[in-house]
Amino acid sequence: MTAAAKAIALDDTHVDAPMFPADAFRLTDEQAALTEKVRRFGKTVVAPRAAKHDRDATFPIENFRDMHGEGLLSLCIPKADGGLGADFQTYCLAAAELGRYCGATTLSWNMHVCSTLWSGPLADELEMTPEDRAMHQKRRAVHYQRIVQDGAVYAQPFSEGGAAAAGVIAFGTEAKPVDGGFLVNGKKIFASLSGSADYYGVLCTERAEGEAASRRNTLYLGVPANAPGVTVTGDWDPLGMRGTVSRTLLFKDVFVPEDAMLMPHGVYFQAASRWPHMFITLSPTYMGLAQAAYDFTVSYLRGELPGMPPMKRRMFPTKQIAVAEMRIMLEQTKAIWFQAITEARANPTKDQVLRAYAAQYSVMENANAIAVKAIRTCGGQAMLKSLPLERIYRDSRCGALMLPWTAEICVDRIGREALYEAGEKDE
Ligand SMILES: Cc1cc2nc3c(=O)[nH]c(=O)nc-3n(C[C@H](O)[C@H](O)[C@H](O)COP(=O)(O)OP(=O)(O)OC[C@H]3O[C@@H](n4cnc5c(N)ncnc54)[C@H](O)[C@@H]3O)c2cc1C
């Protein structure tokens, strides 16, 4: 289908109500238009393909090809570089809308978009020398052109199975400085888009011979998927988010030129310390899943679900109470999440950081809690694989496990940081 034909098809779609209506949440016209575009795209293009990729645990690459046609691979690329120029909040709102239609596509899109969001609008708020900034802008423009023009897709493997992805120790994947670049060696687990991405945005530790590994020396490198020494290994047959195809990546003496740096030396460490909301970017997908579980329940109980007999179940008081409880939980979750993505910035206050942990915790736990209640309330036929609810239930289970801000780590940090100021100790 040509881009023009696709645009017409998108325009003809019946569009669901927005999760965050522009007037109620004071969105700009641009935000309202972008989120509506993504919502239409999700419903028309992505939703019909979701069940098959979930069943087969295959990556929905055709969604990414179609996103390229719609400019959505370039959502957060600055307008000066040919992108749509969306900021952090706009990305989060757009991804929440897409998450309603396919969790796996949206989580994978998050990995791709973050490579542009972190190197783009987020990096623009961080400190760099004028020389580093000029070099960074030159280098990122190369990555951006690949995405804007060629539809290149970026993955974001940082997990290694240990404490590094929790932000506690340096990454075990290392980049040894050599003439003109680095030699990368290591292993990444759970790499969404493995085998389908064109580039892996690898977080690794720059370490010269004899030097101690330090988190301060974290490098963010765009490694070509076809570079000699990169292999994808292991199988992929998980409970949920099956379409992400998050297999293991091995890097064996992979030469990566210096120009492949997605951030200058020291800037990733600065981002992780000064822009902590960068780690809340996994939550929009699950915010969308929470909305989808609620919307499904209302349609189902009203007897309005497409493809199902028009049998109403809404007259039972127990079901009405369950829907009320789901709505309350959804509204609470949306409220704290919207607040957290709105106040995301460099150097947030302690309260803003605690709120971000609380928002992440709420989304990741409540998305699954709402899906659990949806199944219990709708009843047996609602969990058949011919309907999306059981997929939403399985996908939503994954959110609380995602590092660096797992639900457990959020609880741990909120408790500790509420009770202790920096440097405080007990006798
Ligand atoms: C569907 C899906 C897609 C994913 N996609 C990606 C991706 O694209 N890129 C990516 O990098 N990762 C991805 N992940 C990985 C994810 O972010 C986590 O890294 C992964 O789920 C952790 O698995 P684990 O068994 O190693 O976790 P765990 O064993 O729970 O944690 C690993 C380590 O983290 C530390 N840790 C864990 N909990 C605590 C705690 N409470 N307090 C202190 N330290 C703690 C410990 O050192 C622990 O050994 C994905 C995960 C899923 C489920």
> What is the residue type of 212?
A
pLDDT at residue 4 is higher than 70? no
Does residue 338 contact residue 362 with C-beta atoms inside 8 Å? Answer: no
244 CB under 6 A from ligand 1?
A: yes
CA of residue 301 to ligand 1 center, whole Å:
37
pLDDT at residue 5 is higher than 50? no
pLDDT band at 396; cut points 50, 70, 90: very high
409 CB under 6 A from ligand 1?
A: yes
407 CB under 6 A from ligand 1?
A: no
pLDDT at res. 307:
85
- Would you state the structure tokens that stand for residue 141, as one six-digit string? 């423009």
Cα–Cα nearest to 184, from 161, 158, 162, 206 = 206
pLDDT at res. 9:
61
Residue nearest to atom 27 of ligand 1 (CA): 161
CA-108 nearest atom, ligand 1: 8
Q: How far apart are CA 31 and CA 154, in angstroms?
A: 24
pLDDT at residue 11 is higher than 90? no
CA of residue 157 to ligand 1 center, whole Å:
11
Classify domain 275-419 at the CATH topology level: Butyryl-CoA Dehydrogenase, subunit A; domain 3 (1.20.140)
Classify domain 16-152 at the CATH topology level: Butyryl-Coa Dehydrogenase, subunit A; domain 1 (1.10.540)
Does residue 418 contact residue 354 with C-beta atoms inside 8 Å? Answer: yes
Residue nearest to atom 49 of ligand 1 (CA): 162
Beta strands at 199-206 and 218-224: parallel, antiparallel or unpaired: antiparallel
pLDDT band at 265; cut points 50, 70, 90: very high
Domain boundaries, the chain: 16-152, 174-268, 275-419
pLDDT at residue 250 is higher than 50? yes
> What is the pTM (predicted TM-score) of this model?
0.96
pLDDT at res. 10:
62
411 CB under 6 A from ligand 1?
A: no
The position carrying tokens 């590094």 is 164
Asked whether the bond before 404 is cis by omega within 30 degrees of 0, the reply is yes
Which CATH number, 3.40.50.720, 2.40.110.10, 1.10.3720.10, 3.20.80.10, labels domain 174-268?
2.40.110.10
Q: How far apart are CA 103 and CA 89, in angstroms?
A: 19
396 CB under 6 A from ligand 1?
A: no
Does residue 245 contact residue 316 with C-beta atoms inside 8 Å? Answer: no
362 CB under 6 A from ligand 1?
A: no
